[in-house]
């Protein structure tokens, strides 16, 4: 039997279906004009230099690391509190993951980042947890610090040109968020978005690489390089070959197969066109209602999703339970599901995962990430969540907490 309130179904309506149908009828369903149009629309929306669409944020992260020349002997700083994709791509490149602890807002702590830097550090990967932007000024202060720059040991042409640690943003959650007047996408050297089925803007699966590098770099040429890497190292894609009698192509490197299709891009164009006027205001309204429902109860700690400097993309409502044990949190979640309401947990810190435990990472080294995880419950936030459905969520959470974590 379906739940009365699912956690995060995608927004699919007649406009979405019509856009996909038009692509299917066009006869061009792989990477083509729709993908290029979506890249251009994302570039304009995020105010960046160039955008390259791929089949997932994970692929985007790995392509960015490989473009920068990250490999064996290198280190990449990653928050302990994130999804596996952020760290797994570092392992794919043969580099070492260096975890750092969180701040109270779930995002990585810039001071912990500073302490973790060594001469082997090539990249800092920030992660905007729940859609809340990291402290990018503080992170740039770290990578631009003269002492930190002196530690940097470049091994590739791109590293020589940048002359410092690359700031790579895993912005899988934060399309449309802003920090000090700048929109996500333009906040780091390279930013990666996700368009997975549960994200604010979905293309079913998909991702994008946004470039905002210093003037010494040719963003157009880097975008071309990334597209080649996303298509087996092939020098020309199918669309360019079809539109020219010059059919010949070359394979110039052992690339990957992670290009976006026009079917996916058609969904993305529909969603992006109504993102600011429709998606984000509705999600913000949901966050406000949750704040009103739980803000006066000392058993709850509300998530930070806006202040005078920043606002979230309203992707996740990450409610924490004060003074709850992990076992109590899990029992409360079970009780909420018994009311046919779905909630979730974001995320299990990676040092708790078997893969990383076998690599000798210990959760005790990341106490704030561990504390946040043990108390966190993510509540539903999505476009089709009605006021009645949100009322059921609030009622179910209160009922479960009253039962298992009664007021003192």
Q: Which of 228, 251, 272 is the last residue of a domain?
A: 272
Residue 28 is part of a domain; what is its CATH number? 3.40.640.10
Whether this model's pTM surpasses 0.85: yes
- Tokens 């399309």, residue? 175
Residues 259 and 386 both lie in one domain: no
Question: In total, how many domains does the chain have?
Answer: 2
CB 42, CB 192: distance < 8 Å: no
pLDDT in tens, 92-124: 999 999 999 999 999 999 999 999 999 999 999
pLDDT in tens, 148-197: 999 999 999 999 999 999 999 999 999 999 999 999 999 999 999 999 99
Distances (CA, A) of 333 to 45, 146, 403: 37, 48, 12
Share of the chain above pLDDT 90, in %: 95
Domain extent at residue 64: 14-272
What is the arithmetic mean of pLDDT over 284-313?
Answer: 98
pLDDT at 309 (0 to 100)? 96
Using CB atoms within 10 Å of the CB of residue 96, give its burial: 0 to 12 exposed, 13 to 18 middle, 19+ buried: middle
Q: Which of 257, 272, 287 is the last residue of a domain?
A: 272
Residues 260 and 282 both lie in one domain: no
What is the arithmetic mean of pLDDT over 8-14?
Answer: 97
pLDDT higher than threshold 80 for residue 238: no
**98: closest CA among 374, 373, 371, 360?**
360
What does the DSSP 8-state code read for residue 105? T
CB 114, CB 121: distance < 8 Å: no
What is the arithmetic mean of pLDDT over 272-296?
Answer: 98
Residues 129 and 145 both lie in one domain: yes
Distance CA 121, CA 139 (A): 14
pLDDT at 105 (0 to 100)? 97
Distance CA 184, CA 168 (A): 12
pLDDT higher than threshold 70 for residue 241: no
Of 241 and 79, the structure prediction assigns the larger pLDDT to: 79
pLDDT higher than threshold 90 for residue 244: no
Residue 279 is part of a domain; what is its CATH number? 3.90.1150.10
């Amino acid at each position: 039997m379906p739940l009365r309130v699912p956690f995060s179904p995608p927004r699919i309506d007649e406009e979405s279906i019509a856009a996909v149908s038009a692509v299917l009828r066009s006869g061009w369903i792989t990477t083509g004009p729709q993908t290029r149009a979506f890249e251009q629309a994302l570039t304009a929306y995020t105010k960046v230099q160039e955008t390259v669409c791929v089949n997932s944020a994970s692929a985007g992260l790995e392509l960015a690391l490989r473009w920068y020349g990250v490999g064996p002997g290198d280190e990449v700083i990653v928050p302990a509190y994130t999804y596996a994709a952020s760290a797994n791509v570092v392992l794919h490149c043969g580099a070492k993951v260096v975890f750092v602890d969180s701040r109270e807002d779930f995002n990585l702590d810039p001071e912990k980042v500073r302490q973790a830097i060594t001469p082997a550090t090539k990249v800092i990967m920030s992660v905007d947890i729940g859609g809340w932007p990291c402290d990018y000024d503080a992170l740039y202060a770290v990578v631009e610090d003269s002492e930190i720059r002196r530690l940097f040991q470049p091994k590739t042409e791109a590293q020589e040109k940048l002359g410092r640690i690359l700031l790579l943003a895993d912005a899988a959650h934060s399309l449309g968020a802003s920090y000090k007047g700048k929109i996500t996408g333009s906040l780091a050297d390279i930013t990666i978005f996700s368009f997975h089925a549960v994200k604010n803007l979905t293309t079913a699966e998909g991702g994008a690489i946004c470039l905002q590098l210093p003037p010494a770099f040719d963003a157009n040429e880097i975008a071309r390089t990334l597209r080649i890497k996303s298509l087996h190292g092939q020098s020309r894609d199918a669309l360019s070959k079809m539109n020219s009698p010059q059919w010949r192509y070359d394979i110039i490197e052992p690339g990957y197969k992670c290009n976006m299709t026009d079917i996916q891009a058609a969904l993305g164009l529909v969603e992006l066109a109504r993102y600011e006027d429709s998606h984000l205001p509705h999600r913000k309204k949901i966050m406000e209602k949750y704040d009103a429902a739980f803000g006066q109860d000392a058993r709850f700690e509300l998530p930070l999703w806006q202040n005078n400097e920043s606002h979230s993309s309203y992707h996740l409502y990450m409610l924490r339970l004060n003074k709850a044990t992990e076992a109590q949190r899990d029992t409360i979640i079970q009780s909420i599901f018994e009311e046919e309401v779905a909630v979730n947990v974001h995320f299990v810190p990676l040092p708790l995962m078997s893969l990383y435990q076998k690599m000798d990472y210990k959760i005790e080294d990341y106490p704030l990430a561990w504390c946040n995880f043990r108390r966190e419950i993510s509540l539903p936030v999505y476009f089709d969540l009605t006021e009645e459905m949100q009322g059921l969520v609030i009622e179910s959470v209160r009922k479960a907490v009253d039962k298992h974590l009664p007021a003192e």
